[in-house]
Chains A and B, each alone.
Chain A
Amino acid sequence: MTGAAAGAAARAISESREPAALSSPNRRRAERGLRWRGTREGIHFLILFLCIVVAAVNSGTNLVYLFASVMGGVYVLSFLVNAVSVVGLSVSVHLDREAAEGEEFTWEAVVHNSSRFGRHFVEVKPRFVGAADYEPGRRLRRLVPPLAQLGPYLARVMSQIVTGEPREGQPGRLLYLPPGKSARVSIRTKLERRGDYRLESVDVYTSFPMRLMHLAWTYWPAGRVVVVPTLLRPFYTAATASEIEVPTESLVDSHRGEGLDYHGLREYLPGDPPRSIHWKVSARFQRLVVREHQQNRSARYYLFLDLDERKADSRKGPEKLEQCIRIAATVCRELVAASCHSQVLLLADEFAPSPSIFTASELGLLLRYLGSVPYTRRGSLSGMLGRTVGLLAPDSYVIFALPGATDEDCAAIGSLLGKGYHVSALLTVADRDEARKERARPAVVRLAEGGCHVLLHSRATSALC
């Protein structure tokens, strides 16, 4: 693939999955500006303050009043100092990167203090949004439109449940930021789920000096993190790769005259379609010249990925889906590392191939795609394969990564056998018990007996079942 095409593919990946839009309640809350949150110390302090005020009123002693006033003064001043410390900064971030699931990564935010006041104990805490599809509340999402009719309040609540709270990273700390200076804050972040995250906001807060309260102000720098699926362990992937016959040499098969990829110019030969004549060039050379196209048929490996959102409804469904993606990512990594051009095809109602045929140099792009690919709804597998199979080159390797397969799915996969394709099925199971049941299931047995490589995977064992 050319560089321009790779760029276009990258753009397509970027645009294919916009991070979940910030839900309106979150935004409303965030845009309130200065936010106060009590701390345990602060609440104890206030209780003590109230007790002393009560003592002052009861005793009528002015020095008790003075004592209470000083406590009140400390609290009020804490509020003022904290408010001054967090307001009026500027925060800039250069964050556009990938990270692995559950892996801590460090990035930096630059905080600039343009005022004439020094800032003390400023903490910078990011809030990411995205990857909401995997949250437990996603099942409720389907309920939101009807509930929205019940009233905006309920809809907001439900929407918040569905979208999930923004994930907060670990705060970065600045002990002192002098006036007119900038400082880099190192922030460690760990995002547990794969997905395309957008840095929604950065909360700058402080609890100077006695941690009596948290006072936060929200800034809105732009940033993005794509959390890619975790790649499985080498022995596991090696076994998987050997099962699905990953070749050791590169296979490139270019068919000229077909396809859409531009190959070059040649002289007109009889039988060439008139539409292929390049009239401008022909006029320059005073003879007929035609454009020649080619079809790159190197993508011999097709990975069908099933992310049916209905399967996420069960208790272990989301985890199986995620494991399915991890397996797909691992297999694709192995294939691409072996210079096998491979393509991921998402099983969906609308046929959704990956926007690129990934080559060895585009492993990052592949992972990014798998990191941001959403759950979709799909119909029957047989119908989809009927529409898709004609596009596959003969003698291709067809791999199915499914979070479990129904008998119908097994039949659909079995229908590919004997048509010149090398078919493998990577079925994700929840545990060993389920693997045992799957292995004994007639449909799966028939599939294996028909020549399909059936592999059962479980995260619990992280090995082949």
Chain B
Amino acid sequence: MKPDDRTEGLDRMDLWAWLAVSVTMVAMALAEPRALVAFGVPALFYWAARRAGKALPKGVENRVGLVCALGCLVDYLVFRDGVLGFALFFCSLAAISMHTGRGRGSLRQLYLVLTLVMLVVSTRTLELAFLLFLILFTTATLICFLREAHPETVSAGFRRRYVGVCLAFVAASFAVAGPLFFVLPRAPFVLFNPANLPSVTGFGDEVSLGEMASIKKSSKLYMRVYAKDQKKWRGQVLDHYAGRKWTSRGSRGLSRSLQAEPGRPARLIPGDQTPLADYFLQEILIEPYTNRALFSAAQPAAIELIGYPVNHSVGDTLSRGGDTRFQKITYRVWSKLPQATQTQLEATTGPLNVAHSVKDYLQLPDGLQRLRALGGELTRGRASWYAKAAAIEEHLVNKYAYTLDLPEVGAGDPVEAFLFETKRGHCEYFASAMALLLRSQGIPSRVVTGFSFGEYNAFGGYYNVREKDAHAWVEAYLPGIGWWEFDPTASSNEPEALGFLDQLGLTQSAAWLQMKAWLDSLDAQWQREVVSYSADGQRELMARVAEFFDDLYIAAQSRFYRGRSWVHDRKAPLAALLTAVLAVSLAGGRKRAAAAGLWLFELIAGLIASQSRRGTRTARVTAFTRAAQLLAAHGLERRPDWTPLEYARTVERERPELAPALGALALLHCKVEFAGAPLGEADRLMAEVRIKELAALLRGRKREDRR
């Protein structure tokens, strides 16, 4: 930046100032394209005036600013987004400030306006690109400020050097900002919601047939799933068919609200005490949407979603309550996957004693005679319930075609039209047809909407689930097995729309795919570690740090005692060696060496003396004392009037798993302290081992408590 105060408008803008403005505007435009208009209109006005060589009258910027403010007001009245209205006004101000500012004060104004725009951007995006924009913005602003504060840097000799220095400074600033980011306190409440959220259809309590076709054409990321295995991620369970739409029981108020706490997932199966480790764990990050559906693999057993209440409807449908925020929803679900062998499935031949709760899944609208007849025909001769369902599934997969461009159907039932007339449709039609066919044969069934597997990213170990992966399938109730998944949808032969790079053939190369996957895994890390970082995560982090220092303290203490014992055992040769070194140093006139030797001598002598003071009691006394300290740090303090054995017994009542280690230490203590028994090397080793065992048990318990 030129330091001369007389320069005006664009003349004082150098490369870095342009970069700061450009980065801010690009970031804002990506978050909200209307920003380009807000910035571009006043910029074009000034550019045209400059081009025409006309001197604008004094104070014209006030009028331009007023017009821009009015424009932003209109934008607010249309879109009802106050924060964005202000942001657009700031964009206009930046353009005006660029062209009319004079002196150093106006530069600061420009940077202030840009900072506010970036602040709004940070509330409007969650992408990794924001980090890049932030780095560029910080660098450009830093260099501009440096040049303004120290105009000497503009001279040629320093220009290059200080660009490098500033880059290093920015890198170091981000390194410092990292810990600060994780330490800054998170508030559990949110006062304003700065952004409008998108919505997708197909995952509500009511789904009209054909709705899903619209989202299946979009490649936008919907969620990321961290799981060991690929599954169908079920969302909404639809059980009531009313001609053209499906509804769920949740819409009829048949749901209960649950609240999970950090480290204590909400159990979905009443009375379930199965360890969560036995279930299939999924960690899911849903992009900001207004949809409230929560997804999981089949039969969710527990869920941990912090900050929102969870609604659990009959049919294992999960959804979140609370307000909608511009935030990623992160939660963990444990699913009890239905398991059955082929033999077990084939053995589902008995009478179908349908429980009361399952009877609703046999609902069929009146009519549908052709459908009922088809169902009977398809299942004829099949022995087991599973075989009947499989026959229907096979028929649909093989005899019908998949399409997203739905043909026009008449006024009749759309499922019958699909089955007997058009014979083409997408997953919703296939699933609806199978569910109704199954119901026509007395098999309870329901339509489930959700997402298919998604695309696996090997770098990050997760599945990218996009809107185009939206899917619908069927769950049928089999006696002795429970709800079992069937997917009757035929495979799609529709070509995907190709982008420009696809047409060039660049996107199919292995290097491109690798790079894309790597970048995507970076983005996933960003979303998981930064964007989804919460107050709960912060507590977890602090607990881990405290645990680390706890371990460090125990390790240091252990090493200290071990070192003292080692010195004590070798005190004679050590003393001789040190005396010799000291004598040689003094004789040789090496004062520093002598001073260092003397200091070492004093240290070792001190250690020996402290060891000797304690005499042979050292190891057992310190072992028991250390054990008591450890336990006290975990809330098991020893009362002064307790003997070691009383203490051990008390601890045993509270924490039985600690009893062997503490009991052994207490016995050793009593044996040597009160009975005067000698303390051997084996005893000392045993004491060390017991101490470590205690520490490990306490640590393990702590972790488990947190989990």
Chain A contact residues, CB within 8 Å of chain B:
41, 44, 48, 52-53, 55-70, 72-74, 76-77, 81, 120-121, 173, 175-176, 207-211
Residues from chain B with Cβ under 8 Å of A209 in the complex:
142, 145-146, 149-150, 165-166, 169
Q: Is the CB of A67 within 8 A of B118?
A: yes
The answer to whether A70 and B173 touch (CB under 8 A), given A52-B119, A209-B146, A210-B146, is: yes
B123 at interface, CB cutoff 8 A: yes
Give a binary string over B523-536; 1 marks a CB under 8 Å from any A CB, 0 the rest. Answer: 00000001111000
Q: A55-B119, A73-B177 are in contact. List 9 more A-B contacts (CB 8 A).
A: A62-B530, A63-B125, A64-B122, A65-B186, A67-B134, A77-B172, A175-B152, A176-B161, A209-B146
Interface residues of B in 93-123 (CB under 8 A from A): 108, 112, 115, 118-119, 122-123
What is the CA–CA distance of A336 and B172 in the complex, to the nearest angstrom?
A: 66
Name the residue among B123, B161, B166, B325 with the largest chain A CB count within 10 angstroms: B123
By a CB distance below 8 angstroms, the chain B residues around A62 are 181, 530-533
| The 9 A-B residue pairs with the shortest CB-CB distance in the complex, in nearest-first order | A73-B177, A73-B176, A211-B149, A69-B181, A210-B145, A63-B122, A69-B177, A58-B191, A60-B190
A-B contact pairs, 28 of them (CB 8 A): A41-B145, A57-B187, A58-B191, A59-B123, A59-B190, A59-B191, A59-B192, A60-B186, A60-B190, A60-B325, A60-B327, A61-B327, A63-B123, A63-B126, A63-B531, A64-B122, A67-B118, A67-B134, A69-B184, A73-B176, A74-B138, A76-B180, A81-B169, A209-B146, A209-B169, A210-B142, A210-B145, A210-B149
State the Cβ distance, B125 to closest chain A Cβ, in Å: 7
Among B108, B115, B161, B192, contact of A41 (Cβ-Cβ < 8 Å): B108
In angstroms, Cα B166 to Cα A59, docked, is: 31
Among B134, B176, B187, which residue has its beta carbon within 8 angstroms of that of A76? B176
Instruction: Determine how close the nearest CB of chain B comes to the CB of A262; give it in whole angstroms.
Output: 53
> Chain B CB within 10 Å — which of A57, A60, A81, A211 has the most?
A60
- Chain B residues near A56 (CB, 8 Å)? 184
Which chain B residue has the least Cβ–Cβ distance from A76? B176
Known contacts A76-B176, A176-B161; A66 and B530 CB within 8 A of each other: yes
Give the distance in Å from the alpha carbon of A295 to the alpha carbon of B289 in the complex. Answer: 109
With A77-B169, A77-B176, A211-B145: A64-B123 Cβ-Cβ less than 8 Å = yes
| Interface contact A70-B112, CB-CB below 8 Å | no
B interface with A by C-beta (< 8 Å):
108, 112, 115, 118-119, 122-123, 125-126, 130-131, 134, 138, 142, 145-146, 149-150, 152-153, 158, 161, 165-166, 169, 172-178, 180-181, 184-187, 189-194, 325-327, 530-533
A65 touches B174 (CB 8 A): no
Q: Cα distance A463–B179 when bound, in Å? A: 72
Q: Which residues of B are found within 8 Å of A70, using beta-carbon distances?
A: 134, 138, 173-174, 177
Q: Are B146 and A65 in contact (CB under 8 A)?
A: no
Contact assessment for A72 and B177 in the assembled complex, using a CB-CB cutoff below 8 Å: yes
In the complex, the answer to whether B176 meets A64 with C-beta atoms within 8 Å is no
Q: B122 contacts A58, CB within 8 Å? A: no
Q: Which of B165, B326, B533 contacts A120 (CB 8 A)?
A: B165
Chain A positions within 8 Å of B161 at CB level: 176
Q: How far is the CA of A48 from the CA of B161 in the complex (A)?
A: 29
Contacts of B327 in A (CB 8 A): 60-61
How many angstroms from the CA of A176 to the CA of B190 in the assembled complex?
Answer: 47
Distance, CA A62 to CA B330, complexed state (A): 14
Residues of B within 8 A of A52 (CB): 119
Contacts of B189 in A (CB 8 A): 60
Measured CB to CB, the closest approach of chain B to A40, in angstroms, equals 9
Give the complex CA separation of A44 and B325 in angstroms: 31
Looking at the assembled complex, report how far the CB atom of A178 sits from the nearest CB atom of chain B, in whole angstroms: 11
**A66/B152 contact (C-beta < 8 A), A57-B187, A59-B190, A60-B186 known:** no
| Cα distance, A175 to B149, chains bound together (Å) | 12
| B interface secondary structure, majority | helix
Which of A48, A66, A120 meets B112, CB within 8 Å? A48
The CA of A74 and the CA of B141, in the complex, are separated in Å by 11
The answer for the CA separation of A176 and B161 in the assembled complex, in Å, is: 10
Contact of B119 among A67, A69, A175 (CB under 8 A): A67
Q: Which residues does chain A contribute within 8 Å of B115, judged by CB atoms?
A: 48
Closest to B141 in A: A210
Tell me which residues across on chain A come within 8 A of B175, comparing CB atoms. Answer: 73
CA distance A72 to B153 in the complex (A): 25
Which residues in A have their C-beta under 8 angstroms from that of B131? 66
Report chain A residues within 8 Å CB of B194.
59, 61
Q: Which residues of A contact B142 (CB under 8 A)?
A: 74, 209-210
- Shortest Cβ gap from A122 to chain B (Å): 11
Contact of B181 among A55, A66, A210 (CB under 8 A): A66
Measured CA separation A81–B153 after assembly (Å): 18
In angstroms, how far is the closest chain B Cβ from the Cβ of A339?
Answer: 52
Query: What is the minimal beta-carbon distance from B107 to any residue of chain A, in angstroms?
Result: 11
Cα A68 to Cα B181 with chains together (Å): 8
Nearest-neighbor residue (CB-CB) of A39 within chain B: B149
Q: Which of A53, A61, A121, A173 has the most CB of B within 10 A?
A: A61
Distance in angstroms between the alpha carbons of A207 and B150 in the assembled complex: 9
Which residue of chain B has the shortest Cβ distance to A44 in the bound complex?
B108
In the bound complex, CA of A57 to CA of B130 (Å): 19
Cβ of B122 and Cβ of A60 under 8 Å apart? no
B125 touches A72 (CB 8 A): no
B173 touches which of A64, A73, A176 (Cβ 8 Å)? A73
Measured in the bound complex, the distance between the Cα atoms of B151 and A121 in whole Å is 11
Which residues of B sit under 8 angstroms from A120, Cβ to Cβ? 165
Shortest distance from the beta carbon of A405 to any chain B beta carbon, whole Å: 54
Q: In the docked arrangement, what's the CA distance between A76 and B190, Å?
A: 28
Q: Which of A41, A53, A74, A120 has the most B CB atoms < 10 Å from its CB?
A: A74
Return the chain A residue nearest B152 by Cβ: A175
Residues of chain A within 8 A of B190, CB atoms compared: 58-60
Contacts of B122 in A (CB 8 A): 61, 63-64, 66-67
Cα(A55)–Cα(B193), bound, Å:
11
Residues of B within 8 A of A57 (CB): 185-187
Residues of B within 8 A of A73 (CB): 173-178, 180
In the assembled complex, which residues on chain B have CB atoms less than 8 Å from the CB atom of A74? 138, 142, 173, 177
Output the least CB separation between A306 and chain B (Å): 51
Contact of B184 among A53, A59, A61, A173 (CB under 8 A): A53
A residues in contact with B178, CB < 8 Å: 69, 73
Identity of the chain B residue whose Cβ is nearest the Cβ of A53 in the assembled complex: B184
Q: How far is the CB of A438 from chain B (nearest CB, A)?
A: 51
Q: Which residues of chain B come closer than 8 Å to A176, judged between CB atoms?
A: 158, 161
Q: What is the CB-to-nearest-CB distance from A415 to chain B, in angstroms, rounded to a whole number? A: 66
Evaluate contact between A68 and B184: CB separation under 8 angstroms.
yes
Q: A65 and B181 in contact (CB under 8 A), knowing A48-B115, A209-B165?
A: yes
CB distance from B4 to the nearest CB of A (A): 18
A74 CA to B166 CA, complexed, in Å: 11
CB distance from B437 to the nearest CB of A (A): 48
Residues of A within 8 A of B531 (CB): 62-63
Across the interface, do A63 and B130 meet the contact criterion of CB distance under 8 Å? yes
A179 to B327, CA, bound (A): 48
Closest A residue, CB atoms, query B126: A63
Q: Which of A44, A69, A173 contacts B180 (CB 8 A)?
A: A69
**Residue on B nearest A173 in the bound complex, by CB:** B152
Least CB distance, B27 to chain A, in whole angstroms: 11
> Cβ of B125 and Cβ of A207 under 8 Å apart?
no
The answer on a CB contact under 8 Å between B145 and A66 is no
Chain A neighbourhood of B119, CB < 8 A: 52, 55, 64, 67
From residue B703, how far is it (CB to closest CB) to chain A in Å? 25
Contact B149 A207 (CB under 8 A): yes
Distance A223 CA – B533 CA, assembled complex (angstroms): 58
Interface core residue of A48, A73, A173, A175 (most chain B CB under 10 Å): A73
CB proximity of A55 to chain B, nearest CB, Å: 6
Nearest neighbor of A207 in chain B, beta-carbon distance: B149
Give every chain B residue within 8 A of A121 (Cβ-Cβ). 150
Contact assessment for B169 and A60 in the assembled complex, using a CB-CB cutoff below 8 Å: no
Q: How far is the CB of B438 from chain A (nearest CB, A)?
A: 45
Closest Cβ neighbor of B191 among chain A residues = A58
State the Cβ distance, A82 to closest chain B Cβ, in Å: 12
